[in-house]
Amino acid sequence: MTTRIAAVVPSAARPELLGRCLRGLAGNSSDLHEVVVVHSGDPATVKVLAEWDAELPLRAWVGRAIGASARRNEGWRAAESEIVAFTDDDCEPAPGWAAALAAAFAEETVDVVQGRVEPHPEDEDIQGTFARTVTVRSGEEIFVGANLAVRRTALGRVGGFDERLTGGEDTDLGWRVTETAAGAQAGFAADALVWHAVRPVQFRQHLRSLPRWSTLAEVVRRHPALRRRLAFGVFWKPEHLTATIALAAIVAAPLNRRLLALAAPHLIRRIHGHGLYAGCELAVSDVAEVGVMIAGSLRHGSLVL
């Protein structure tokens, strides 16, 4: 019997990127039982959905909830298929994506499958210090929601995405799926490829986005085995070791200005690797990230810097 698979897309009012996503889903339409798009109802998004309606088994409506996790939850609960494949509106599934995901669930013990993610080839000219994309090339334990498929029964078992988490919610979902049922396994489908957009992000915009990562401490608290993926079991990124020293020096500077010298190694390392302007921006970003992680660690009772 053919495995029924649904694609669920939480839209964030990015009609141009959504059109590219729907183009990719249309290329997989013969293997998709349904495509569920949850959106905000903005006219541009509605127009794009109408343009692709004839090409897809499309079910789209205005979501009542705000945020990607809440819209993903609305989407999978409305889906009727055995397998729910999540991707985002800034992603384009490659040909064969849905079939490869379905094949990865051939073993009944596999409840969650991570697919491969590469930067979109149409965006190769987009550059910048804080340009954003996603790359996944192996069966990592972090479970990236840009290309993640889960059995609908497993989603029901764990209640879907935890909407209280603002960062790391996809990782948390993958771990809960495998931890809450005896013998439940995670798989990786290298042939299930999604191209992720490369988006230009300005420095201030990047800084404003950082607070969402404060809930990573909660994800690690729930799943302590994730610490093996942290630098020295504590640091989210290797650069945060010297950034933590720099932040401590800045905080202590009013007591003794000479302590500011302790911030120099981090700044010098960033400038040496990226040039003066970008290096300074990265150094500030690193220190800000550590500040966010400290706040999250205090709030959730789990040290992640």
pLDDT tens string 29-53: 999 999 999 998 999 999 999 999 9
> How buried is residue 211: exposed, middle or buried, by Cβ count under 10 Å (0-12/13-18/19+)?
middle
The answer to whether residue 209 sits within a structural domain is no
- Judge contact between 214 and 293, C-beta under 8 A: yes
* CATH code: domain of residue 62: 3.90.550.10
Assess whether 155 and 45 both reside in one domain. Answer: yes
d(CA 109, CA 297): 34
> Is the pLDDT score of 302 beyond 50?
yes
The end-to-end CA distance of the chain, in Å, is 48
Assess whether 108 and 229 both reside in one domain. Answer: no
Q: What is the domain range of residue 237?
A: 221-300
Assess whether 62 and 125 both reside in one domain. Answer: yes
CA distances from 134 to 10, 146, 224, 240 (A): 17, 8, 24, 20
Assess whether 148 and 279 both reside in one domain. Answer: no
Confidence (pTM): 0.94
Q: What is the dihedral of CA 245, 246, 252, 255, to 10 degrees?
A: 120
d(CA 228, CA 231): 8
Q: How many domains does the chain have?
A: 2
pLDDT of residue 2: 67
Assess whether 13 and 130 both reside in one domain. Answer: yes
Share of the chain above pLDDT 90, in %: 91
d(CA 79, CA 73): 10
Assess whether 177 and 244 both reside in one domain. Answer: no
Assess whether 172 and 236 both reside in one domain. Answer: no
Assess whether 137 and 255 both reside in one domain. Answer: no
Assess whether 79 and 138 both reside in one domain. Answer: yes
The answer to whether residue 130 sits within a structural domain is yes
Q: Give the residue-averaged pLDDT of 189-194.
A: 97
Q: DSSP for 190-259?
A: EEEEEEEPPB---HHHHHHHGGGGGGHHHHHHH-GGGGGGSBTTTBSSTTHHHHHHHHHHHHHTTT-GGG
The answer to whether residue 78 sits within a structural domain is yes
pLDDT tens string 93-139: 999 999 999 999 999 999 999 999 999 999 999 999 999 999 999 88
The answer to whether residue 293 sits within a structural domain is yes
Assess whether 196 and 282 both reside in one domain. Answer: no
> Is the pLDDT score of 182 beyond 90?
no
CA distances from 158 to 11, 120, 124, 174 (A): 23, 32, 38, 10
- Judge contact between 98 and 32, C-beta under 8 A: yes
> Is the pLDDT score of 1 beyond 60?
no
Of the three residues 201, 233, 262, the one that is the final residue of a domain is 201
pLDDT tens string 272-284: 999 999 999 999 9
Encode burial over 148-175: b for 16+ CB neighbours within 10 A, e otherwise.
Answer: bbbbbebbeebebbbbebbbbbbbbbbb
pLDDT tens string 126-169: 999 999 999 999 887 889 999 999 999 999 999 999 999 999 99
Sign of CA dihedral 11, 64, 201, 293: negative
The answer to whether residue 256 sits within a structural domain is yes
Assess whether 196 and 229 both reside in one domain. Answer: no
Q: State the pLDDT confidence band at 181, using cuts at 50, 70 and 90.
A: confident
| Lowest-pLDDT range of 75-79, 178-182, 298-302 | 178-182
Q: Give the residue-averaged pLDDT of 213-237.
A: 97
pLDDT of residue 199: 94
For the chain, the average pLDDT equals: 95
Q: Which helix (H) or strand (E) holds 269?
A: helix 264-274
Assess whether 9 and 96 both reside in one domain. Answer: yes
One-letter amino acid at 126 equals I
> Is the pLDDT score of 248 beyond 70?
yes
Q: Give the residue-averaged pLDDT of 202-220.
A: 97
The answer to whether residue 305 sits within a structural domain is no
> Is the pLDDT score of 65 beyond 80?
no
